Structure 1
Amino acid sequence: MTLDPLFGRASAGRSGLLLYQLPTLAALALALVTLPLSGALSDTTMVVSGVLVVVAISVAAVVLPWKTYDDRLAVLIPIVSLVGLGLVRYGTGGVGSPYSATLFVPFVWIALAAGRGNAILAALTLVATSQGPALLLTDFRQSADVVRVLFSPVVYGLVALVINEIARRLRLQLDDARATVAQRDSLLVDAVRASQEARSNETRANAVSRQLSGLWDAVTEQAIIGTDLTGRIDSWNPGACKMLGVAQHEALEAGLVITDVHVADELREQVATVGDATPLDDEAAFAVLVRDVATGSADVREWTYVRPDGSQLPVQVAATQRIGDDDDVVGYLFVATDMTKAREFERLKDEFVGMISHELRTPLSSILGYLELLRDEEDGPLTPEQTQYLDVAERNAQRLLRLVGDLLFTAQVEAGRFPIINQSTELESVLRAAAQTFEPVAAAASVQMRVVMDETVSTVVRGDATRLGQAVDNLLSNAVKFSPAGGLVTLSLVVHDQRATITVRDTGIGIPDAELDQLSTRFFRASTATSASVPGIGLGLAITKAIVVAHRGRLDVTSEVGIGTAFTVDLPTVDE
């Protein structure tokens, strides 16, 4: 009797069948106990029918003489249980039922049974019980419905095949283990037994080694470079050979360090953001590469690799720790993906945005010009209603023109044509102008605005006053826009060690931690902003970051949902 879904005939008999039916009964009992709390009951008849079906087949599992039947008939127990649980599911909300997960208990039983046919049977039964009525009502003229109908059976089938394959391998391993035990017990000489075990372990180790070696050699599209704790390269896969044009033996025998494949100027810029390291040394450069990885977290950043011939390659590098046998960090692993095609796609996209924006600016300017002519018409004065219509049209045209300007600006940034007037700029005057601009906006929104800075000193930076003012305006605009009535927006300036820090802090809705890294991505909007229906298109912070970076600065953000957000702009100062 193949009644045991995993271990063959070991548990044949009524008690064995009941044992495997107990999880289904437990899931059903838990659903019935929590049903009054969930409020999901929609069809009492369906639920009662499902319970009766499960109870009936459970009783049959104990009462009927299964040993006298064909081995394959035992699979009827989970199939019928699946039908019963499907009825319970449809009686508690159907697709939205909180008890849909109960279907997977008998589903796993069926999938665990020996034979590929049981995996397919498990998938088909789950599809029939979970989507049967819905399939009958589906309009197959809709592409989404066709995809759903085709997608679910395939996914369930794959899951069932995976479970079935795992069970098959476990059976094989169990058979091997039993054979090994039988063979070991039959041995009379301990020395012979130890020798056989040693040979078996050696074979397995070699197999694992061959598998790992095969996997390592199969990765040809990503460069995988391993280093020790000092950055010296000790692993170099075929993908690295292909990407960087250096053979494995050449990379290892030359004693290369990971910083040798990076552009020196790029590393020097990163080192400068965390401390002064001139001239650039390997230790400081390597510390920048593993700065975040050293704390145990993964780090994914974009860098530029350089080949021996001097050609450069944009890559996205995922850096992780390498853990040894004693759970100690023994080095680092750098997995690099070629970003050349992605960069080209971004370039073409930016060119398209820039072209469309440029083409929109001319007709918008013409529209605004004609609107101005209508407003200044002396022969036939406009009525108050016509003036109101004209104001609406002009306001929306101006808004669209500003949007087009932002799109053109971001396209210029991505294309490396960032217009900056590099001159001595007093930050205090930039901040005062920005505050004066937004004081009436804040007052209209019932938001208090406070400026904190030392008016007796003058902080000078090299840069473009207009662009810096635009960056501060964007931060203040967001702070006021996302603060509720009665909130507080604080604009402050602190100077220390030839660094000026501008902070815009609000008491608004905040931003989830998981979304902070995406804020400077074009067209990205935080989930808190979209859920609160705050208008915007997600260009302001992208523009702000571009301006700050162009001034050799850094833009940081801290936030807590429901408490508020603080943006800091860190800029280098100069002596007057």
Structure 2
Amino acid sequence: MSRTLSIWRWQLIFTGSMLAVVVVIAAFSPHTFGNPLVALGLVVLVATTLATLMVPWPRIPQSIVVAVPLLDALAVGLATSAPGMRIELLWVFPVAWLASYFALPWVFAGIGFISACLLLFTSRSGEPADVLVRVLIVVLTLSFLGTTIRIGAQRSRAARRLLQRQSEQAERAADRAQTQEQRVTQVIDALDVALVVVNADGRILKMNDAYRTLYGRDRFGAALPSTAVEYDERRGAPLSPERTTLSLAARAEELRSERIWLFDQEGRWRALQASTQRLADATARDRSTLLIIDDVTALIEAAEERRTLTAIVSHELRNPLMAILGHVDLLRERHDLPGSVVAQLEVISNASERMQRLVESTQDEARRASESLPEPVDLRQVVDASAASYSAIARSNRQELVVEGLDRLVVRGDAFRLRQVLDNLLSNAVKYTPGGGGIRVSLGADDGGAVLTIADTGDGMTADEVARVFDPYFRTARAVVGGAPGTGLGMGIARDIVSDHDGSIEVGSAPGAGTRVTVRFPLTEEDGS
């Protein structure tokens, strides 16, 4: 089809030029059409144009196509037979056609044909020298023009072929790069080590499946509603947003197997080792850092199991050691034993005493490691840390999260477990409060007790649902139908933790009126205000 369109385009352009010349002749020299050769030239032009439009060119050999520009050259030659006609310039069209699509011999053959037409049909009025000069000028001009166009066409085709090959190579290279990137992504996603690339603005550029699963993020990097929180140590203090591993990596701070603890959304402790690696960048603005997080929980648990086994073995060895030492003492009180036996008993006694001291030392270490005494905890700090972790999700949901009340409220207990209570309550408030709603956390004291209140403007619950809110796996019908994530265990866990701290928890709610949770703890001897 492209071949047919090209032939039509060349022929119609030439025909239009000739028709424009005919119009000019008809306007200023109509008697010219009385010349039979001029009329024959117009007939040849019309016939050639009609044949060009009717012939099925895809089925015609390339060698036949050359007849069209030659017939056009004949039409121009016949038209030049009229005295005073100077339309030799129109031979440029058939010469340009030949030079664009045919080899150079065809170009010179066409120029030779045009020279013959010029000698046969052109008016010979004037001196022979003038006619000869005219013929030579036309031939030389068309020869230079045809050669130039042919060379340009060859270069253009060569450049087009080169560009096409380069384009194909670029496409193949892009396909290979995409395939390689997919393979690398698959390999990285298969790793158990969590990997994430973060830029200076704290935006996640890339991450693998291990990191998504560990921190509860979608494939775009957005944080999902999750209670996963980083701690400086197990059952220790939660890390502030500025000290989390992601924030440290964004600031390009160097980490080398830094130990942190993560309490994940499944309620499990995970021991992590975090390291950072600066990535090559073009400018400081494009700075990015690779954060490598290795889950070493299994190693830590194995070490704890070894310590537990050591403690058990030590405890079980204590009784037989006491028996050995007791019987050795009884034997040493006898006076009828040979001297060699007394010496052997002394060796047994010394060895048993050394082993007994080792067992007692091991038991003391295990006892100190297992002891966990309640300590004073500022409830306001726990509330602020939990609210900071949920503030980003609240903002994305267009919710207003406000913390108010006392700036200091000290209770005695476990900071980590109290943080669990706050995380569960705030998670529910954020989850079940619609966009544009509000969540208010208040801290106060009355009758010697600390009072923590979390109130939201959510859909609320019926009286029957409030009565069952602490039951394991219970979820409201609205939460189930709405597809809100959750297991129904959070409120029961919160109640058990509060009870362990000698506190109480109450839930008040009504449909359309939101939910209000009130938690009370005994105050320490320190002033809670």
Fold match by TM threshold 0.5: no
TM-score by structure 2 length?
Answer: 0.34
Larger Rg over CA atoms? 2
Q: Which has the higher contact order (CA 8 A, sep 6+)?
A: 2
